[in-house]
């Protein structure tokens, strides 16, 4: 039996100030989300493990996720946060290299006010060192940042990148053409992979249908190919628009005509390869 991996989910102990991005429209997730809660959901949906991704931009967050991975065998990997612009970045990367579950890092670039954030020399210096430690980098951006992200990823051809949430297309507005063109450009870079994740939250939460998402999912599969697309639920953020079962069901509908081999790649094997997870 092939291992099934949810390659994008989060844990948190809810604090209003720390999690101020959870606004009034997202009251459904203004609470704690623990590994025990996710384990029940994964079991119900026949998943074997997950990759836990940072939410807070602190080393404390990274340490907390690593602690959870140590205590919960189904957490196969952690995508943490580190200050990639720090002058001592190489020393910090060396420190965290002792932790077996630390697979890569992410910065919430979508929230940066600087439109040229991905071109900052200090940030680029931090990215430069990731390959030395065999670490991945999750690219979290909006569609208008795709062109810059393509230039960014092209500058580091040996670095493994993965695009979160297919760059959050404007599904609610029905916009696809510009995003599609830019997505194909970044997909042309063989060192960039793509998480098909987080899409229900980009749609009209109360009125969308699975068919609204299909063109975006199909575009990502076509652009990146079956060997570079990875499943992620974005639990618990997805709960503002869909339960876990619905997220999985939408993906299963898209992949229904695919071979069992291709389904196994998307729902687990690709994540294991990209993040170098231990089964």
The vertex-92 CA angle with 86 and 97, nearest 5°, equals 145
If you average pLDDT over residues 58-72, what whole number do you get? Answer: 97
Query: Phi and psi for 77 in degrees, rounded to 5?
Result: -165, 160
Structure confidence by residue, pLDDT tens digits, 75-84: 999 999 999 9
- pTM for the full model? 0.96
**Residue 140: which pLDDT band, with cuts at 50, 70 and 90?**
very high
Across residues 18-28, what is the average pLDDT? 89
pLDDT of residue 238: 96
CA distance 249 to 247: 5
**What is the percentage of the chain residues whose pLDDT exceeds 70?**
99
Look at residues 94, 121, 18 and name the one whose alpha carbon lies nearest to residue 60.
18
pLDDT at 251 over 90: yes
d(CA 39, CA 186) in angstroms, rounded, equals 34
At 50 the pLDDT is 98
| pLDDT confidence of residue 175 | 93
pLDDT at 128 exceeding the cut of 70: yes
Which pLDDT value is given to residue 223?
98
Question: Angle at Cα 180 formed by Cα 175 and Cα 181, nearest 5°?
Answer: 120
pLDDT in tens, 150-206: 999 999 999 999 999 999 999 999 999 999 999 999 999 999 999 999 999 999 999
Interatomic CA distance for residues 195 and 68, integer angstroms: 23
Cis ω before 122 (30° cut-off from 0): no
**What H or E segment, with its residue span, contains residue 38?**
helix 35-44
Q: Would you say 176 and 144 are in contact if contact means Cβ atoms under 8 Å apart? A: no
In the chain, what percentage of residues exceed pLDDT 90? 94
**pLDDT recorded at residue 1:** 59
Q: What is the pLDDT of residues 83-117, one digit of tens each?
A: 999 999 999 999 999 999 999 999 999 999 999 99
The pLDDT value recorded for residue 2 is: 79
Confidence of residue 222 (pLDDT cuts 50, 70, 90): very high
Structure confidence at residue 279 as a pLDDT band (50, 70, 90): low
- Average pLDDT on 61-77 reads 97
214, 256 contact by CB (below 8 A): no
């Amino acid at each position: 039996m092939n291992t099934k991996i949810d390659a994008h989910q989060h844990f948190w102990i809810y604090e209003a100030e720390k999690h101020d991005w959870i606004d009034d429209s997202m009251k459904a997730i203004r609470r704690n989300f623990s590994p025990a809660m996710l384990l029940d959901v994964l079991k119900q949906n026949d998943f074997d493990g997950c990759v836990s991704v940072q939410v807070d931009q602190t080393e404390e967050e990274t340490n907390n996720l690593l602690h959870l991975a140590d205590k919960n065998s189904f957490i196969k990997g952690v995508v943490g946060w580190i200050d990639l612009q720090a002058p001592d970045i190489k020393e910090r990367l060396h420190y965290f290299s002792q932790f077996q579950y630390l697979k890569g890092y992410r910065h919430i670039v979508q929230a940066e006010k600087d439109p040229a954030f991905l071109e900052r020399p200090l940030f680029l210096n931090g990215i430069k060192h990731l390959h030395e430690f065999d670490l991945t980098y999750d690219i979290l951006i909006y569609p208008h940042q795709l062109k810059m992200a393509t230039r960014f990823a092209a500058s580091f051809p040996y670095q493994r990148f993965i695009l979160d949430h297919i760059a959050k297309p404007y599904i609610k507005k029905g916009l696809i053409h510009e995003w599609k063109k830019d997505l194909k450009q970044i997909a042309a870079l063989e060192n960039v992979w793509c998480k098909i994740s987080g899409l229900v939250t980009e749609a009209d939460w109360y009125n969308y249908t699975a068919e609204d998402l299909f063109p975006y999912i199909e575009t990502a599969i076509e652009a990146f190919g079956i060997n570079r697309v990875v499943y992620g639920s974005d639990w618990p953020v997805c709960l503002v628009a869909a339960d876990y079962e619905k997220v999985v069901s939408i993906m299963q509908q898209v992949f229904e005509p695919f071979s069992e081999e291709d389904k196994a790649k998307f729902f687990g094997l690709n994540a294991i390869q990209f993040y170098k997870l231990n089964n």
